[in-house]
Amino acid sequence: MVKSDKTDERGVDRGPWRAFVPVVQIPDTGLHRDIEADQATRGAMAEIAGLRDISSARASFDLTPKSGGRVHVKGRLQATVGQACVVTLEPLENDIDEEIDLIFAPPEQIPEPVDIDAAFEMDDPPEPIEDGIIDLGRLATDVLYLSIDPYPRKEGAAFEPQVTAVDPEDHPFAALKALRADREPRKHKPKGE
């Protein structure tokens, strides 16, 4: 498989925002990282998400090593995304402010559910540490994408369907009524009345 700027050696899409932290470099006391997406990265993310733009995207993380090679990642993502109102189609901006609290673990420690029912009953499994690295940029991107309002509305915008008056002659049986009227004998008035 050919490796490109956006895929790794396995062909997995890496996404545009990258911020690698090798697990072996996290001290026992923990590690703090602040990351911010540059303009080119925000543009690529906006294109992938189908947004008008992403004017800002930054995240702050605290990584704490746990037993068994696990890492607790706690942080916060803040971003401003440009969208279009689903009612008026006018441009609008939405702020995203999401807390992040996850456990990362070596892949061999992540249980695979036997069936779909077991998957719904178990707590969220840890995220995999891939090749000894935690990618904070990819984590922030995933949180951003999941936080986007799929139906953004400008404040005060409300959908009001057009209501048209119903023509009483415009119904499924109107044609039958017209046929019946044509077949009924006409009553004639007797002469002299």
Assess whether pLDDT exceeds 50 at residue 2. no
Assess whether pLDDT exceeds 50 at residue 5. no
**Residue found by looking up tokens 């971003």 in the block:** 79
On whether the CB atoms of residues 110 and 176 are closer than 8 A, the answer is no
Half-sphere exposure of 13 (CA within 13 A, CB side): 7
**Averaged pLDDT of the chain:** 82
Q: Across residues 180-185, what is the average pLDDT? A: 63
* CA 192 to each of CA 43, 56, 155, 186, 187: distance values in angstroms, whole numbers, following the listed order: 90, 92, 74, 18, 15
pLDDT of residue 10: 45
34 burial type by CB count under 10 A (0-12 exposed, 13-18 middle, 19+ buried): exposed
Helix (H) or strand (E) holding 130: none
Q: What is the pLDDT of residues 118-165, one digit of tens each?
A: 555 556 789 999 999 999 999 999 999 999 999 888 887 676 666 665
Residue 2 dihedral angles phi and psi, to the nearest 5°: -85, 130
The rounded distance, in Å, linking the Cα atoms of 16 and 8 is: 12
